[in-house]
């Protein structure tokens, strides 16, 4: 018995000594701990009633998980539900209905076919207390009636202030005061990986909030067509039909984007959504409110993304930037000294790595604005200042009536370079560029055509062209010459 007692005491003191040494050499702090090992034999331990060791571990877990309750409460009342109504005419009347023999046997016709009404829905964001709302162009485009429902169920009929298909944005207004609203944040400061909330009305489920992170910036997904400005913020916050025009907000409750699209093969959310950056949205909104249309400043370059393959082919010493494929005569870029083969790497101190980033940065500007262009040429970084121009190659703003005429014609126009005028022995004329679908293309006119006369009147500038055409109706004769010297005449209809 005595021998057993001695062995027991030796084991106890030895164990205490060992523990003491371990605490001396390997002290545990309150912040650093390891997950305890649980011995569970033949039974199912539910986490709703964890063992003491696990419960102790869970009390040490960090408690700073994201909490979106406050920002949701701040934002949800500023996002509205938009319902639009469209009258769709029935198909043309069958000739059989106007046949007198049919009328003899079956009686007189019952009248004209009645139009059908189609409805759609989306979201919008109140951006000032007096009822100004920003949304997507595709939410309200062509609508006969636009109805807005606030989060407190008040309903209003809105009027469309203006739309811009090139950014898929629109501004509408309801007659009310002291409305809850969101303030614009700076989308340039948005960082990949930060938390964001998407707020809208998917599937007519009002006031829905989803959360995610910013997964990419400057995405171009080619959904808006020619002359589009696509530089989307990509997130994994769930967005579905009806979210279009809703808010993307940061954790401070600032509006950093307008939700516009999803990447999906089924038409429903499949992991990624896309929002128009707030810096673009704010500029478009201000232009629509002030001018009724967007004033677009243009640099006047044809561009493509630079990659390692192109860099190797062109013997360029960098792999990122925007490669200048061509420079338009009379453009801001030409006047600033940019050349084919240059690589644009920055605008106004902001790094530019892709074409979408360049288009976004320039797209925020108006004609007459100066931009500082940083570019790479012959192994050196250089800088130059360009003064942006309008689609005519001028510094003036474009009126809404001019834009309407240009939309019909489907082209841009620029002043003809002096050396080209001398080669063709011309004293006046404007050159067609950026030809799109419209009356000129339908008539057979091709890019580069120089218009010298419209109905025998001389054309010396783009302004002359829009001034002469603004009151025209019916057939119009256009005369001009191609750069190779071929003269041509075209007839178009203005209505």
Q: Which residue in the block uniquely carries the two structure tokens 């896309």?
A: 274
Please identify which of the residues 75, 121, 123, 138 carries the catalytic annotation.
138
Query: Does residue 168 carry a catalytic annotation?
Result: yes
**The tokens of 436 are what?**
């799109």
Cβ-count burial 422-460 (b if 16+ within 10 Å, e if not):
eebeeeebbbbbebeebbbbeeebeeebbbbbbeeeebe
Please identify which of the residues 244, 273, 331, 356 carries the catalytic annotation.
244
The partner residues of 140 in beta bridges, in order of sequence, read: none
Q: Which residue in the block uniquely carries the two structure tokens 């807005």?
A: 148
Measuring CA to CA, which residue among 407, 392, 483, 402 is closest to residue 446?
483
- Residue 469's H or E segment, with its range, is helix 462-469
**The tokens of 111 are what?**
């009248």
DSSP state, residue 323: E
Query: Does residue 138 carry a catalytic annotation?
Result: yes
Answer for the pair 253, 268: CB distance below 8 angstroms, yes or no. no
- Residue 386's H or E segment, with its range, is strand 380-387
**The tokens of 220 are what?**
């171009």
Please report, to the nearest 10 degrees, the dihedral formed by the alpha carbons of residues 84, 162, 114, 118 taken in order. -20
Give burial (CB, 10 Å; 0-12/13-18/19+) of 325.
Answer: exposed
**Cβ-Cβ contacts under 8 Å for 108 (sequence gap 6 or more):** none
Q: Catalytic amino acids?
A: 138, 168, 244
């Amino acid at each position: 018995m005595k021998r057993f007692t001695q062995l027991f005491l030796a084991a106890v003191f030895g164990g205490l000594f060992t523990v003491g040494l371990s605490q001396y050499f390997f002290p545990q702090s309150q912040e650093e701990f390891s997950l305890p090992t649980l011995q569970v034999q033949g039974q199912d331990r539910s986490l709703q009633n964890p063992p003491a060791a696990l419960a102790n571990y869970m009390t040490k877990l960090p408690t700073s998980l994201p909490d979106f309750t406050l920002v949701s409460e701040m934002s949800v009342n500023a996002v509205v539900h938009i319902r639009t109504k469209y009258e769709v005419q029935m198909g043309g009347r069958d000739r059989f209905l106007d046949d007198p023999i049919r009328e003899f046997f079956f009686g007189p016709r019952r009248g004209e076919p009645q139009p059908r009404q189609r409805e759609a829905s989306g979201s919008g964001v109140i951006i000032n207390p007096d009822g100004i709302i920003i949304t997507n162009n595709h939410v309200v485009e062509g609508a006969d009636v636009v109805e807005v429902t606030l989060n407190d169920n008040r309903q209003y009929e809105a009027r469309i202030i203006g739309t811009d298909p090139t950014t898929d944005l629109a501004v509408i207004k309801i007659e009310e005061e002291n409305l809850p609203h969101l303030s614009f944040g700076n989308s340039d400061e948005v960082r990949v990986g930060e938390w964001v909330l998407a707020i809208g009305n998917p599937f007519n489920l009002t006031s829905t909030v989803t959360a995610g992170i910013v997964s990419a910036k400057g995405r171009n997904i080619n959904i808006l067509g020619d002359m589009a400005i696509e530089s989307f913020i990509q997130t994994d916050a769930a967005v579905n039909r009806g979210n279009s025009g809703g808010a993307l907000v940061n954790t401070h409750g600032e509006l950093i984007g307008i939700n516009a699209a999803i990447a999906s093969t089924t038409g429903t959310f499949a992991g990624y959504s896309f929002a128009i950056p707030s810096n673009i949205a704010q500029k478009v909104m201000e232009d629509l409110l002030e001018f009724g249309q967007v004033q677009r400043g243009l640099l006047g370059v044809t561009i493509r993304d630079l990659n390692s393959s192109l860099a190797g082919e062109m013997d360029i010493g960098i792999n990122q930037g925007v490669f200048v494929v061509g420079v338009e005569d009379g453009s801001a870029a030409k006047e600033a000294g940019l050349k084919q083969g240059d690589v644009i790497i920055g605008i106004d101190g902001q790094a530019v790595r892709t074409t979408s980033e360049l288009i976004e940065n320039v797209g925020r500007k108006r004609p007459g604005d100066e931009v500082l262009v940083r570019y790479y040429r012959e192994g050196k970084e250089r800088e130059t200042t360009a003064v942006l121009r309008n689609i005519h190659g001028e510094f003036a703003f474009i009126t809404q009536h001019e834009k309407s005429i240009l939309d019909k014609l489907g082209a841009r126009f620029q002043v003809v370079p002096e050396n080209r005028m001398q080669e063709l022995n011309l004293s006046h004329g404007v050159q067609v560029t950026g030809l799109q679908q419209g009356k000129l293309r339908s008539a057979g006119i091709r890019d580069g055509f120089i218009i010298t006369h419209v109905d025998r009147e001389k054309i010396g500038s783009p302004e002359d062209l829009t001034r002469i055409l603004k009151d025209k109706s019916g057939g119009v004769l256009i005369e001009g010459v191609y750069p190779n010297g071929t003269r041509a005449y075209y007839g178009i209809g203005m209505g």
